[in-house]
Amino acid sequence: MMQTPLLLSSFVKRAEQFFPDKLIISRTSDDHIHHITYREFAKRTRKLADALTKLGMKHGTKVGSFAWNHHRHLEAYFGVPSTGAVLHMINIRLSPEHIAYVINHAEDEILLVDEDLFPHLENLAPHLKTVKHYVIMGDNKELPETSLENVHLYEDLLEKASDTFEFPEDLDENTAAGMCYTSATTGNPKGVVYSHRGIVLHSFALGLADSMGIKERDTVLPIVPMFHANAWGMPFAAVFFGATQVYPGPGFDPALILDLIEKEKVTLTAGVPTIWLAVLKELEANPRDISSLRSIVCGGSAAPKGLIRAFQEKYKVPFYVGYGLTETSPLVSLSVFTSKMDQLSVEEQIDIRAMQGLTVPGLEVKLINEDGEVPWDGKTMGELLIRGPWIADEYYKDERTAKAFKDGWFYTGDIAVMTEDGYLKLTDRTADLIKSGGEWISSVDLENAFMTHDAVFEAAVIAVPHEKWLERPLACVVLHGGQTADDNMKKELLTYIEGQFAKWWVPDDIVFLDEIPKTSVGKFLKRALREQLATSVEGV
């Protein structure tokens, strides 16, 4: 067989050859919605490659992007790696210290920055050791006032660049194409490097009928940020298959999302549960026609069943939970129905949709505990291990590699069970797991149960030290407005939980809080909770 390398440039070429008139619809501000054809996209992508090459970008050069979801960011997704350079997608929500850390650690030489985000980086500039050029992505035709040198306008550079720039066809498919950093529980973010091969194979996986099934007929709206695990790979796959794409740009809100879905007849969209909860609320208040949607994909953290039920039952939109991590490109599994699930009741089907689902073709998974591999019985918990061609094998120049990548497997730090049907269900993080009297208790299962109670807005369950059992669960609950945090409520909630779990799973106490501390990506920061509460409830 031919040794044709799997390269991202082939996606650009395909879109241009077969779907030149299909559109990328890109909102860059309230005043600007761009309609770019794939013909134009391909030209602009080659121009970007030419322009950045003229600025000094070479094979292996790291180019950072600090940007929302829009067409220019998409051009960078292809224009940078297709030359052999590496696009480092910087999470704009990191703390300034961590932003400086990741730019310095990746050794970014050029930064592509949205005009509204530029002030953040300008302030950090004195700390950025390797950056030689700032390129402002925006619609303004004037450079912002700045004391920095080497600041360019993206559109100016493109204007002077050649649209016949040729991407090398002989790149090794294992060449680095992209980088994302993932937040760590403690310490600096950890870098993950994506290869052309990994992204191409991941894109094939996203196009499978049994997975997200991204196809030419789709109109895809990636809400998940392009600086989060490649926007779950959707921008790559959408170009590959020639789908219409819609990008929401900066400062979007639920109303804007719904307007875009209605106006552009979006068929497929993806984001975190927080977004879908907000979108649902807006939809109930101000109805829109969302009948064009064939799927909503939800990931990043567990989706409440009420949310799934609302979209599936009331709005007739299949709502899929996906699972993945920055280290996994990210798609690992998706809650698609296999044929044997057809005969389940509606309620059972919603239970299934709420799980992390079926491993996508191309990856292998297993669960292990202290005794080795655990059975797929829907009960036995184990740490999830993953292997496959779009799974990272290291953290970039980081000694934390040794802990997570062992024997050819990625140790996710997630605790899960597998049903007999090979359906993945996350139950915890290794760090958050509660080990009571030698048995494992899933904090996530308890949290989900609390959150089905009408009075509860959100709930986190953490381990607190215990003399006899070593650890016991403690529930931290935020009530809805208007509810009273008193002993009656405590009793009601504990009784509510008792009926659903083994006796020893039921938390010994509940602490009512105003808010649960969260990470920059909206996940519960249980470490902070543990630190905050460990002393106050010691000896419970």
Catalytic positions: 182, 327, 435, 440
Q: For its own copies, which residue of 64, 233, 388, 413 counts as binding (CB under 8 A)?
A: 388
Applying CB under 8 A, does 144 fall inside the site for its own copies?
no
The footprint of its own copies on residues 19-48 (CB under 8 A) is 19, 21
Among residues 18, 16, 9, the alpha carbon closest in space to that of 38 is found at 16
CB of 324 to its own copies, least distance (A): 14
Helix (H) or strand (E) holding 441: strand 439-441
Residue 330: is the preceding peptide bond cis (ω within 30°)? yes
Applying CB under 8 A, does 217 fall inside the site for its own copies?
yes
CB of 376 to its own copies, least distance (A): 8
In this structure, are residues 170 and 5 in contact, taking their beta carbons and an 8 Å threshold?
yes
CB of 174 to its own copies, least distance (A): 7
Q: How many residues bind its own copies (CB under 8 A)?
A: 54
Q: Between 273 and 382, name the residue whose CB sits nearer to its own copies.
A: 382
Q: For its own copies, which residue of 3, 186, 343, 488 counts as binding (CB under 8 A)?
A: 3
In this structure, are residues 180 and 89 in contact, taking their beta carbons and an 8 Å threshold?
yes
Measured over the CA atoms of residue 92, residue 97, residue 102 and residue 107, the dihedral's sign is positive
Distances, alpha carbon 6 to alpha carbons 3, 212, 511, in Å: 9, 21, 53
CB of 361 to its own copies, least distance (A): 6
CB of 1 to its own copies, least distance (A): 4
Helix (H) or strand (E) holding 3: none
Q: Record the tokens describing residue 436, joined without a space.
A: 């009571």
Applying CB under 8 A, does 150 fall inside the site for its own copies?
no
Binding mask 431-470 for its own copies (x = CB under 8 A): ----------------------------------------
Q: For its own copies, which residue of 242, 271, 299, 413 counts as binding (CB under 8 A)?
A: 242
Q: How many CB atoms lie within 10 A of CB 504?
A: 12
Helix (H) or strand (E) holding 496: helix 487-498
What is the C-alpha separation between 345 and 359, in angstroms, rounded? 23
Applying CB under 8 A, does 208 fall inside the site for its own copies?
yes
Let me know the angle formed at the C-alpha of 389 by 224 and 318, rounded to the nearest 5 degrees: 40
CB of 8 to its own copies, least distance (A): 13
Amino acid at 27: R
Distances, alpha carbon 155 to alpha carbons 70, 143, 233, 414, in Å: 14, 11, 26, 43
The footprint of its own copies on residues 270-329 (CB under 8 A) is 329
Applying CB under 8 A, does 198 fall inside the site for its own copies?
yes
Applying CB under 8 A, does 6 fall inside the site for its own copies?
yes
Distances, alpha carbon 336 to alpha carbons 243, 320, 354, in Å: 21, 7, 10
Applying CB under 8 A, does 204 fall inside the site for its own copies?
yes
Applying CB under 8 A, does 215 fall inside the site for its own copies?
yes
Interface residues toward its own copies, by CB under 8 A: 1-4, 6, 10, 13-14, 17-19, 21, 174, 193-195, 197-198, 201, 204-205, 207-210, 213-217, 240-242, 329, 338-340, 358-359, 361-362, 364, 376, 387-393, 408, 410, 421-422
